[in-house]
Amino acid sequence: MRFTFFSNANMPKSRPTLRSMFQRIHLMIIAITLLMAGIPLSVLSVFTLKSYAEHNLQLVAATISYTSAAAVVFGDKPAAQDALTLIAKKEQVYEARIYDQKKELLASWTSPTSMRLTLDDPIRKWLLPKMVVQPVVSENEVVGYVTLTAGGATMVKFLSNLLLGLLSCLVITALLSFWLVRRMHTGIVDELQNIAHVARLAREKREFSIRVRPSQIAEINELSRGFNSLLREMELQHADLMIENDQLSYKALHDPLTSLPNRSNFMSMLESMNMMQEQICVMFLDGDGFKAVNDTWGHSAGDHVLTTIAERLKTLVGKNDLVARMGGDEFSILLRHVVDQDDVMQVIEKILKAMRRTIYLPNGEEVFVSLSIGFTLSNAGSTPAELLEKADAAMYHSKHNGGGWSFS
């Protein structure tokens, strides 16, 4: 036993739609544009903020230096500590220290955030000045120093807001992209979908009369015109083919001389009858003396006699009944909705009366041709083969008796 294995690699992949491709392209273009504009702007903003932080740190150092000058001169550590703490805790300072002239520490202050790991540390180390040194001056003499290290809280807040702004812009850009694509490319996609819809109707339902509507877009309109021209040619070819098929079908089911249904057509009609619901009559008719007409005046005269008989028989039956030429000078009639034998006899009497009329040949000669008739009636258990056999036997019985009609 052989097994066939299928993998996902062999499965056909779904192809992206034109609308989704437009959306992705627009989103990529807008995102790249946003990044190209946002990154330089962000870098410029960071460096501007860094410059501002350096300048602000210098001002804070100068303020602490001025405020603590007296404490430094007199070596008053508590006063120096109070002055340092009062100012440093209000500013973006990570660490602040005051030294005397001998560079001995008088006061120090460290931001409470230094006791825990935060984003301030890497930002302070990477983007802010490491330390600002400001001399403490009293009466034009340097009496000490103030050292400050900037804190990164402001920078962290700025960068957080900047990142949030960029993400918000990306989300808004994505939504705007979808809206723009829907707005700008609806015409293109709808026009192409219309062409695809018309092509599908033409392929699946053979509706070649439908046409693609004109487009406001020049290229698509040219495509639509070319497609409509192709549909027009296909429509004409399809119409010619249908006519040819109808002609072939007609020829296959009709006698070429008399235009009556042929044997195949008669058999199909007989086999389609539901004899459980209606009673029918199958009648066979054969020409008497027809061979003499052919032998005396030729086959063209015989053809004229056959067409005359066909025309007379067609006028004697109802619209739901069927007259067929079985071959040669043999005809058959299928009568529907027959109540009893009297209905059939009325038709036979009309046929016999019609055939008593003279048939005039094209050369002016007069001929008389009679018909030997055999018929049978169906019942609920009748089969087409049985009815044909009985009608044929009845027709030959009538012929052997010199004409007229016979029932089987």
Which positions are annotated as active-site residues?
A: 329
Cα maximum dimension of the chain? 164
Long-range contacts of 164-171 (CB under 8 A, 24+ apart): 166/34, 166/38, 166/42, 169/34, 169/38, 170/31, 170/34
CA distances from 390 to 42, 140, 202, 286 (A): 105, 148, 51, 15
DSSP 8-state secondary structure symbol assigned to residue 214: P
Q: How far is CA 50 from CA 54, 63, 128, 130, in A?
A: 6, 20, 6, 12
Q: Are 154 and 49 in contact (CB under 8 A)?
A: yes
Q: Which residues of 325-347 are buried (b: 16+ CB within 10 A; e: fewer)?
A: bbeebbbbbbbbebeeeeebeeb
Contacting residues for 373 by C-beta, under 8 A, at least 6 apart = 283, 284, 285, 348, 351, 352, 395, 398, 404, 405, 406
- From CA 280, how far away is CA 275, in angstroms rounded? 7
- CB distance 345 to 376 below 8 Å: no
Encoded amino acid at 252, one letter: A
